[in-house]
Amino acid sequence: QASRDNANFLHDLTLAQVQAGGAIFDSQGFNVTIAQTLFNTGGGGLTKIGSGTVTLTGANGYTGTTAVNAGKLVITTDSTGGGDLTLAHGTGLGVIVKSANAQLNAATLTLATSTAASLDIDLGAFGNPALAPLNVSGEIAINGTLTLNIADSLAQLGQFPLVQYGSRTGAGNFVLGSLPPGVQAHLVTNVLNSIDLVITGASTPRWEGTVAGGVWDINNTVNWIDLGTAAASTYFEGTPVLFNDDATGTTTVNLVTTVNPGNVTLNNVTLPYTLIGAGKISGNTGLTKQGAGTFALANTGGNSFTGPTVIAEGTLIVTNLANGGSPSAIGASSANPTNLVIGKGVLSYAGPAVTINRGYNNQATNSTIDTQGDLSLSGSPLAALGSGFIKTGPAQLAYRAAGSNHLSGGFNPGYHAAAGTVLFDGTAGSQINRSQSEFWVGGSTTSGAALVLSNTTVIIDSWLGVGHGNGTIGNTASVTVNNSKLQTGNLSLGYDNGLPGNSAFQILTLNGASTLTNRGDSNLGESPGSTATVSINGTSLFWLANRCFLGQRSSATGTVTIANSGRMIINNGWFSIGNGDFGSGSVLIKDAGSLFVSGDLNVTDGGASIGRLTLQDNATASGNAIYVGKSIGTIATAVISAGTLTARGNNFRVGQNGGSLGTVNMSGGTVAVSGELWVGEAGQGIWNQTGGAVYSTNWLAIARNGGGASIGTYNISAGSLAELDPGDQFIVAENGSAH
pLDDT tens digits, 211-244: 999 999 999 999 999 987 889 999 999 889 999 9
CB distance 582 to 556 below 8 Å: no
Q: How confident is the model at residue 354 (pLDDT cuts 50, 70, 90)?
A: very high
Which has more confidence, 607 or 249?
Answer: 249
Question: Taking phi first (over 0 means left), then psi (-120 to 50 degrees means alpha), and beta for anything else, what does residue 479 get?
Answer: beta
Residue 613 has pLDDT above 70, yes or no: yes
3 state SS of 337: helix
Taking alpha carbons only, the member of 116, 112, 109 closest to residue 83 is: 109
Q: What is the mean pLDDT of residues 177-205?
A: 90
**What distance in Å separates the CA atoms of residue 319 and residue 300, rounded to the nearest whole number?**
10
- The DSSP call for residue 3 is S
Among 111-120, 316-325, 433-442, which stretch is predicted with the lowest mean pLDDT? 111-120
* Residue 210, pLDDT above cutoff 90: yes
pLDDT for 344 beyond 70: yes
**Mean pLDDT to the nearest integer, 619-632:** 96
Q: Which amino acid is at 357?
A: N
pLDDT for res 607: 84
Give every CB contact of residue 228 below 8 A, 6+ residues apart in sequence: 156, 157, 201, 202, 203, 204
Q: Going by C-beta distance under 8 Å and a sequence separation of 6 or more, which residues neighbour residue 333? A: 286, 305, 306, 307, 308, 309, 324, 325, 339, 340
DSSP 571-599: -SS-EEES-STT-EEEEEE-TT-EEEEEE
pLDDT, residue 14, reads 77
Under the phi-then-psi rule, with left for phi > 0, alpha for psi from -120 to 50, and beta for the rest, what region is 108? beta
Question: Do 119 and 190 contact (CB within 8 A), yes or no?
Answer: no
Confidence band of 385 (pLDDT split at 50, 70, 90):
confident
Asked if residues 141 and 109 have their Cβ atoms less than 8 Å apart, the reply is yes
- Dihedral angle computed from the Cα positions of residues 135, 136, 141 and 145, in that order, rounded to the nearest 10 degrees: -10
654-699: pLDDT as tens digits: 998 888 999 999 999 999 999 999 999 889 999 999 999 999 998 8
Averaged pLDDT for residues 583-587: 96
Q: Quick: pLDDT tens for 270-305.
A: 999 999 999 999 999 999 999 999 999 999 999 999
Region 196-212: mean pLDDT is: 92
pLDDT at 704 over 80: no
What are the tens digits of pLDDT across the range 46-58?
999 999 999 999 8
- In eight-state DSSP terms, residue 380 is P
Task: Give the DSSP per-residue string, 212-258.
Answer: TT-EE-SSS---EEETTT-SEE---TT--EEEETT--S--EEEE-SE
Chain centroid, CA 410 distance in Å: 8
646: CB partners within 8 A, 6+ apart = 620, 621, 622, 623, 671, 672, 673, 674
Which pLDDT band holds residue 114 (cuts at 50, 70, 90)?
low
Mean pLDDT of 515-532: 97
pLDDT of amino acid 706? 63
> How long is the chain?
739
Q: For residue 554, name the pLDDT band (cuts at 50, 70, 90).
A: confident
b/e per residue 450-471 (b: at least 16 CB within 10 A): bbbbbbbbbbbbbbbbbbbbbb
pLDDT of res. 422: 99
Q: What does the alpha-carbon distance between residue 682 and residue 633 come to, in Å, rounded to a whole number?
A: 12
Local confidence band at 155 (pLDDT 50, 70, 90 cut-offs)? confident
**How many other CB atoms are found less than 10 A from the CB of residue 446?**
10
Separation of alpha carbons 250 and 209, rounded Å: 5
> How many whole angstroms separate alpha carbon 734 and alpha carbon 650?
21
What gap in Å lies between CA 510 and CA 451, rounded to an integer?
12
Other CB atoms within a 10 A radius of the CB of residue 122 amount to 18
The share of the chain scoring above pLDDT 70, in percent, equals: 98
Q: What is the pLDDT of residue 736?
A: 64
- For residue 313, pLDDT over 90 is answered with yes
Q: What is the pLDDT of residue 192?
A: 87
* CA max distance for the chain: 107
Average pLDDT, the chain: 94
Look at residue 308 and tell me whether its pLDDT is greater than 70. yes
- Using CB atoms within 10 A of its CB, is residue 130 exposed (0-12), middle (13-18) or buried (19+)? exposed
Q: Which DSSP category does 529 fall into?
A: T
Q: Which phi and psi angles does 665 have, rounded to 5°? A: -110, 110
Answer for the pair 67, 89: CB distance below 8 angstroms, yes or no.
no
Three-state secondary-structure class, residue 635: strand
Q: Averaged over 20-48, what is the pLDDT?
A: 93
* DSSP assigned state of 338: G
C-alpha–C-alpha distance, residues 33 and 473, integer Å: 46
3-state DSSP assignment of residue 339: helix
